[in-house]
Structure 1
């Protein structure tokens, strides 16, 4: 335990630096994970958990740093793993070790991550674990719920504006991913709604202010840029408008049914 505590103090000292040394922090986290497994990293017996309260609190603190470190390192797989472990401490051992000050900050971060990946059913599953009071009033949860409502209502301009008002800095990376997801949705709508659109109008709808940004977006979507400066979609292979896209509608209905079943 003394060795673990020494490593933890070194990790916290390194993490407190701005910006922190992500490589050094990653090395310390790897050492701590191995050391904690030997103690009680994820205890399964209630009596053992009660007798190792100190170890549980330390393990929770390490995981909280690990979650933020994975965001800083842009390692989404690590983020998912650490959050899955951390929720065990937030929900299963809350009565033993109490509530962490970082709990709702990181749960909100996880909700934003799910939203940024358009994983709406998983988003609502996580939301159901929280009380109504927390959902409506918590400073970290409520803004994320508002973002989800903006998406459902198609108020994408509100999402672009929310980028500058994130609750904490660690949310910024997932906000960037969410904005990219939203832009892809808008881009898909533009392709279906217009035969031709000027680069200026497309940039306005996508909330892009630099010419190089709309150019890069158009290239990513494989948009055809004409000499006139307009994007043309007339040569795209689309189904005749008089025919119902039965296959697409069937896939959509099945997707909604799966999402509804997970939520219920």
Structure 2
């Protein structure tokens, strides 16, 4: 009876269209109660394979729905609960399970990137490399954060930005964290720009910061405390600097700004 109740709850969670956010939260709570009643929240040698499969499906569904609810902390808890299941021999599961594991793990790697937790990112990656014997980039879901991390280290923000567009995202769930990552990158570029330039034309800043319009640039500038005047943005850290120092400031700017400005110029040429 308890197994049937869990199957029914899982079916409701996986329905199309999905339930409302409030209903999802309620159903996830019910599903966890069923797992507790079945002693299936943690796998054990005595857990029947069908129940093992059902428990893992339930936790993976909870993880993916937590992202749709934009609750990264809940997603992290589900991922931690899934780790003991993922450590079991693959023979314990149906072949279709591997795809969900790949998606959930890839999402966790992307979440670590958005938080700047590169140590945690590489710890998870090292375990995957041993298990999968290389070829991580060939995996649709795991390869996505792996490529993003490499481009971030190279300062190739234009590639990261391009990969977060709809056609470059592996699934709808990845789009949530991808947008967070772009906002993080935008903040890093803004910090570099403040140190590298006395001012910038708004049109250049739009491409540099990967914003959709000049109005968005003005809004972003106000949030950062920048001064907008006569079609230019003036960075507070550089106000009052002699114009003769501008060349020295540009030369001192980092490779990240050089790469990104180059990309902005390419966009202007295309337009």
Q: Same fold (TM over 0.5)?
A: yes
Is 2:91 the counterpart of 1:85? no
RMSD: 2.4
Counterpart in the other structure of 1:26 = 25
Counterpart in the other structure of 2:195 = 192
Pick aligned residue for 2:70 from 45, 68, 74: 74
> 1:202 Cα shift?
1.1
> 1:22 Cα shift?
2.6
Any unmatched runs of 5+ in structure 2? 240-244, 249-271
1:39–1:125 Cα change, 3 Å: same
Determine the C-alpha separation between the residues in 1 that align with 2:148 and 2:237. 35
Counterpart in the other structure of 2:134 = 133
Structure 1 segment 96-111 matched on structure 2, within 5 A: 96-97=92-93, 100=97, 101-111=99-109
Q: Is the 8 A contact 1:111 1:144 kept in 2?
A: yes
Counterpart in the other structure of 1:223 = 226
The alignment's TM-score, normalised by the length of structure 1, stands at 0.80
1:68–1:151 Cα change, 3 Å: same
Is 2:231 the counterpart of 1:232? no
Structure 1 segment 1-264 matched on structure 2, within 5 A: 2-43=1-42, 45=44, 47-49=45-47, 52-92=48-88, 94-97=90-93, 100=97, 101-130=99-128, 131-163=132-164, 164=166, 165-226=168-229, 228-235=230-237
Task: Deviation per CA, 1:98-139: give whole Å up to 9, x if none.
Answer: 661311011111111111221111111111111243413211
Any unmatched runs of 5+ in structure 1? 243-264
> 1:71 Cα shift?
0.4
1:180–1:172 Cα change, 3 Å: same
1:132–1:203 Cα change, 3 Å: farther
Q: Is the 8 A contact 2:226 2:236 kept in 1?
A: no
> 1:44 Cα shift?
6.4
> 1:211 Cα shift?
2.4
Determine the C-alpha separation between the residues in 2 that align with 1:105 and 1:122. 18
Determine the C-alpha separation between the residues in 2 that align with 1:143 and 1:78. 22
Aligned pairs, how many?
235
Q: Is the 8 A contact 1:7 1:28 kept in 2?
A: no
